[in-house]
DNA sequence: TTGATAATTGCAAGTAGTTGCAGTTACAAT
DNA sequence: ATTGTAACTGCAACTACTTGCAATTATCAA
């Protein structure tokens, strides 16, 4: 069985069209070492496909989010960032003062997720959260 | 002792100027029954102070956030919403599918806040969160 | 009261992201 | 291969929010 990117095969399986623009956006996300922004995706894609428009990047991200294939996270810095939903299950603590980021294991939010499901019948999307606050150094 | 809005007396105590624009923004927030947007604040203020600029509203909100006097929350709908930090301690579950909102007691996040402080020395700002996901009806 | 002065504001331009629409194209059916 | 069609894209205009800068003003000291 040939190798296909997870996201692309999921798109294909669900009947979405595999346009070159989408393939390149997906590839930028899957090849990114960490969290990537829409602008960064765009500037990668535009090199190989010069007349792509950034609204296509945003629309693709919207689709991938809606299908649960990528997560969108506000890590500060004025733009949200994306990464594959099934890659590196974890969260981040973000200091609002100095921008420091602390990685957090996903297990810390398990109990909360369970409680919300049990007590409110609500399926919380708690994959790759950014929790904002103050780190030790910026404590007042 | 005379009555002063909590937020105004806090501003004053910390040495910030009490401009008419600020007083009116604060008043709009404190008088709002629930969560209010920047645009809604602006449209209240502009009636009594016609040449106020919306950037002043945004800058005032930024200040009030930074001082911990108001909370900013993304409840969906394409704009964030504000309310006094010390009013109605609670959170919201927001369904990404249908927009339904379920109120949540603040106690549910106490254990998480404690764990983050204990295990990571991080003071998480978990006042008035919006947790996104799917409600029972939109479950798949 | 009356200045001095730094904080604050209005304005205009900028950034991140969204949307309506007309034209293009992936994909399926022939 | 050709063609029909809805999905998708590019484009341009728009929304929410931000920012640099010059003009205004709240506050304080004289
Ligand atoms: Mn991450
Ligand atoms: Mn609320
Ligand atoms: Zn910090
Ligand atoms: Zn729902």
CATH architecture type of domain B90-139: 2-Layer Sandwich (3.30)
Residue A2 has pLDDT above 60, yes or no: no
The token duo for A127 is: 């994959």
Strand D nucleotides, any atom under 7 Å to a protein CB: 7-13, 15-20, 25-27
Domain ranges of chain A: 2-84, 90-139
A51 touches strand D (CB under 7 A): yes
Residue B104 Cα to ligand 2 middle (Å): 9
Of residues A93, A96, A125, nearest to B120 (C-beta): A93
Under an 8 A CB cutoff, do A121 and B135 touch?
yes
The token duo for B84 is: 């006094």
Q: What is the pLDDT of residue A5?
A: 87
B136 contacts: CB under 8 Å, gap ≥ 6: A121, A122
Q: How many residues does chain A have?
A: 140
Q: Alpha-carbon torsion A94, A34, B95, A126, what sign? A: negative
Q: What is the pLDDT of residue B3?
A: 61
The DSSP code sequence of A75-137 is -SSSS-EEEETTSS-EEEEEETTT--EEEEEGGGGHHHHHHHHHHH--EE--SS-EEEEE-GG
Question: What's the CA A78/C1' C15 distance, rounded, in angstroms?
Answer: 9
- Give A74's pLDDT tier (boundaries 50, 70, 90): very high
Q: What is the pLDDT of residue B88?
A: 82
- Give A88's pLDDT tier (boundaries 50, 70, 90): confident
| B49: DSSP letter | S
| CA distance readout (Å), A51 to A18, A22, A74, A107 | 17, 14, 28, 43
Encode pLDDT of B12-56 as tens digits: 999 999 999 999 999 999 999 899 999 999 999 999 999 999 999
| CA distance readout (Å), B93 to B87, B131, B132, B134 | 18, 5, 6, 9
CA atoms of B71 and B88, how far apart (whole Å): 11
Backbone angles phi, psi at A6, to 5 degrees: -55, -45
| B137: DSSP letter | G
Assigned fold of B2-84? Arc Repressor Mutant, subunit A (1.10.10)
Q: Alpha-carbon torsion B79, B83, B85, B89, what sign? A: negative
- The yes-or-no answer to whether A2-84 and A90-139 have a common fold is no
The pTM score is 0.93
Round the CA-based radius of gyration of chain A to a whole number and report it. 17
Q: How large is the average pLDDT for residues A70-94?
A: 95
B4 touches strand D (CB under 7 A): no
Region for B4 from its dihedrals, namely left if φ exceeds 0, alpha if ψ lies in -120 to 50, beta otherwise: beta
């Amino acid at each position: 069985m040939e190798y296909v990117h997870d996201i692309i095969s999921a798109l294909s399986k669900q009947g979405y069209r595999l346009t070159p623009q989408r393939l390149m956006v997906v590839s930028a996300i899957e090849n990114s070492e960490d969290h990537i922004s829409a602008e960064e995706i765009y500037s990668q894609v535009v090199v190989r496909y010069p007349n792509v428009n950034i609204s296509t990047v945003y629309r693709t991200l919207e689709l991938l989010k809606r299908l649960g294939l990528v997560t969108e996270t506000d890590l500060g810095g004025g733009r949200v960032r994306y990464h594959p939903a099934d890659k590196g299950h974890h969260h981040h603590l973000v200091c609002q003062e100095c921008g420091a980021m602390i990685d957090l294991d996903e297990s810390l939010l398990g109990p909360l997720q369970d409680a919300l499901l049990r007590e409110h019948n609500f399926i919380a999307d708690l994959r790759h959260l950014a929790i904002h606050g103050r780190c030790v150094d910026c404590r007042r």
